[in-house]
Amino acid sequence: MRRDRNRNLFGVALLGLLFAGAGLALSGAGHDRADLTFTNGTEPQSLDPAVVSGVPEGRILRGLFEGLTTPDPRTLEPRPGMAESWEVSEDGRTYTFHIRKGMSWSDGSPFTSADFLWSWKRFLKPETAAKYAQLLWYVENGKAYFEGRLKDFRKVGIKAPDPYTFVVRLERPAAFFLALTSFYPLFPVHRASVEAHPRSWHRPGRLVCNGPFVLAERRIRDRIRLLRNERYWDREHVRLESIDILPVEDSGTALNLYMTGMVDWITDVPNHVVRDLMSRPDFNPVLYFGTYFYRINLKNKDPVKRRFLGDRRVRLALSLAMDRAEICERVTRSGQKPAFGIVPPGVPGYEPARLPGPDPARARALMREALSELGMDSPPTLTILYNTSEAHKDIAEVLQSQWRKVLGLNVRLENQEWGTYLDSQKTLSYDLCRAAWIGDYLDPNTFLDLWMAGSGNNNTGYEDPAFDALVEKANATLDRKRRMALLHEAEAKVLHDLPILPIYTYATRYMVRPWVKGFHPNALNLHPLKDLWIDEELRRRMRAR
C-alpha cells in the first residue's frame, strides 16, 4: 500500500522534476554526495549574520557560526556555546559570560571575548543596517548608540574586561535575553576578514567562522557545501563531515528530489499532495510558533492608496471579509489554524489577543462608510506582493476572490524572487505584502517588538508611542503575570490599529528520512545542523528494500 502510494506521488511530482527541477539536479553532477543534503527554500540573501532576518539564512548561519549559547535541539533551552558558563545578577540586569579558553577561528586565529565586543558594536552601528538591531536596545545605552545620540561606545553596557570574560548590562530586566544569545544576529564575526574585505568577507575562500562547519563552496542557484570545522571547540560532537544545502524555491521540485532519493530533508511540500502524505511516517505536521500574515503599507508612495489604506475602517473591513478557515481547509491543509492575533498560542501563562471573526455584512458597511468620508467613488486597485511559492500564490488568489466578492475590491497579484521581495518590503514598495514570522524565542515579545518604531523588521510604516511604551513597560516588569498582561494589552493595541492581517498559525511541513538522527520536533521548528547525524546502517538497509 505504501509503496503504491509512493509511486503515485512520484508520478505527481515527475513533471516538476523534468522541467523546473532538472536544471538544478543535473548541475550538481560531478559532486561527491554529502553526508546530509537538504533543500532550503531559497537562495540566502547574505551569509552575514548581522544583516539577514530569514529562516533559510538562519539554518545556514547556525552551521557556520556560534553565539555565547546554543539551543538544546529538544527543549530549546540555552546551553553552553562559546561561553562555557555565565551568571546573572540578582536584579536581572547584568550577565557575566565566561568564554572558553583555547578556542580559535576556522583560520587558526585565537578567539576571545574581544570578538564578541567588536561584533556587537558593528551590529549596533547604523551603517550595518541590521534588521534585528533592536535586540541590543535592551542593553544599557544600546538604542542611544544605534540612533547616534551617544557616540562613545564605552558607555554602552557591553564590556570585555579580559580575554575570557564578556559582561552585558541591560537597561532593565529582559526575561528572554539569554535566548537571544543563541540567536544568529548576535553571532560573532571575524574582524580581520570583515575589515580586509568589507563587501566579500562572507564568500567561499574568505569566510572565517567559529561554528561547527566551514563554507567550502557556494554556487548560486545550485548549492552551498559545508564541511566539518576541525578547529571548532566541540568538533567531537559533530558527526557530519559534509552538508549540501540546495536553494529550491519550488516545493514540487523539492518533493521530487526527496522522493527520488537525492535529498534527505525538505522544508516544505506542495499543497496538492498534503493529504496523500499524511499517512507517511516521515511527514508529521505539528503546530509551531509561527504566524503567516499580510503586511499593510501605511506609507504608500501612491497618495490615493495611502489615504485608503491609512483608514482603519478599510483595514478592519479587509480583516472581516477574510475567511481564514477556507485558506486552512482548501489551501494549506496541513493542520494550520486560522489566526486572529499575531502571537501564536503556546506560551505558558499568556492569553493571546484576538480580532473578531469573519463578518461580511459589517465589512461592507465599514467599507461604504470609509469610502464616503474619503470622498472616493470606489476603492483603488491594490496589489498583493508575494515571494515565489505555489502556496503563497494560492493564498493570494483566495484572498483576491474573497475581497472581490465581499468588498468589490479589485486586487492584482505580483510575484517576486526572494531578494527582490525583501527589498520591496524594506523600501515600502508594495500595497499588501505576504509575510510570516517564526518566533526567535518562546515569548510574546518576539512577535510584538516587531511593530515598534524603528524596528528593522517592521516594514509597514506603523508607529505608535503608546504601543512602544506598553512593550517597554512589559519588558521592564519582573512579575511574570503582570508582564504577560501588559504584553496582551500591547497585542490588543496593534490588532486594533491593524498594520497587519493575521491569516494562520503555522504547522510544520517538512519531510525527513528516518536515518537523519538528532532531528527533534520543537516549538520553533529549529534543527541545529551541529546535532544532526546519519545512521548509515539504517540508510543502507532502507535503500536496499
Kindly provide the b/e burial profile for residues 312-330, where b requires at least 16 CB atoms within 10 angstroms of the residue's own CB: ebbbbbbbbbbbbeebbee
CB atoms under 10 Å from CB of 62, counted, come to: 25
Question: Does the structure show a pLDDT above 70 at 534?
Answer: yes
Q: For residue 13, what pLDDT is reported?
A: 42
Residue ranges of domains in the chain, CATH in brackets: 31-247+514-544 (3.40.190.10), 287-507 (3.10.105.10)
Q: For residue 9, what pLDDT is reported?
A: 43
Q: Mean pLDDT throughout 39-65? A: 95
CA 531 – CA 535 distance, rounded (Å): 13
In the chain the first and final C-alpha atoms are separated, in Å, by: 15
Q: Mean pLDDT throughout 246-266? A: 96
Q: For residue 31, what pLDDT is reported?
A: 72
Position of cell 504584553? Answer: 487
CA 212 – CA 231 distance, rounded (Å): 8
Give 271's pLDDT tier (boundaries 50, 70, 90): confident
- Closest by Cα among 40, 31, 78, 77 to 60: 40
Q: Which residues pair with 386 in a beta bridge?
A: 415
Q: What share of the chain is helix, strand, coil (3-state, %, to 5)?
A: 40, 20, 45
Q: For the whole model, what pTM was predicted?
A: 0.85
Least confident of 30-44, 100-114, 221-235, 410-424: 30-44
Question: Does the structure show a pLDDT above 70 at 251?
Answer: yes
What distances in angstroms separate CA 354 from CA 435, 443, 447, one per listed residue?
Answer: 19, 17, 14
Question: Does the structure show a pLDDT above 50 at 331?
Answer: yes
Q: Considering the chain, what percentage of its residues have pLDDT values greater than 70?
A: 94
Q: Name the average pLDDT for the chain.
A: 93
